[in-house]
């Protein structure tokens, strides 16, 4: 784990999602519009496809270095 990124972001982001991978999260923290777009896409999957959409949303959050669960 990169300790400088850990000291910069801590364990949770501003929306209180647990940061699993600080390197991936650093990229999305720098590009806030991509974070908001992927977060919106994940929650739309949950709304449109209730059960399988949660799995897709968890994968999208995992790609951003965050934990949905």
Q: Residue 12 in 3-state DSSP?
A: strand
Confidence check: pLDDT of 58 > 90: yes
Beta carbons within 8 Å of 52's beta carbon, 6+ residues apart: none
Q: What is the mean pLDDT of the chain?
A: 92
**What are 60's two structure tokens?**
């999208």
- Whether 20 and 69 have beta carbons less than 8 Å apart is answered as no
For residue 21, the enclosing domain spans: 3-67
Q: Strands of the chain (E only): list them.
A: 18-19, 66-67
Confidence check: pLDDT of 31 > 90: yes
Confidence check: pLDDT of 57 > 90: yes
Confidence check: pLDDT of 2 > 80: no
Number of domains the chain contains: 1
The structure's pTM equals 0.88
């Amino acid at each position: 784990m990169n300790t400088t990124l850990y000291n910069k972001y801590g364990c949770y982001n501003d929306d209180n999602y647990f940061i699993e991978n600080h390197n991936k999260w650093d990229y999305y923290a720098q590009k806030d519009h991509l974070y908001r777009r992927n977060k919106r896409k994940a929650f739309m999957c949950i709304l449109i496809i209730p059960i399988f959409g949660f799995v897709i949303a968890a994968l999208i959050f995992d790609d951003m270095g965050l934990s949905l669960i």
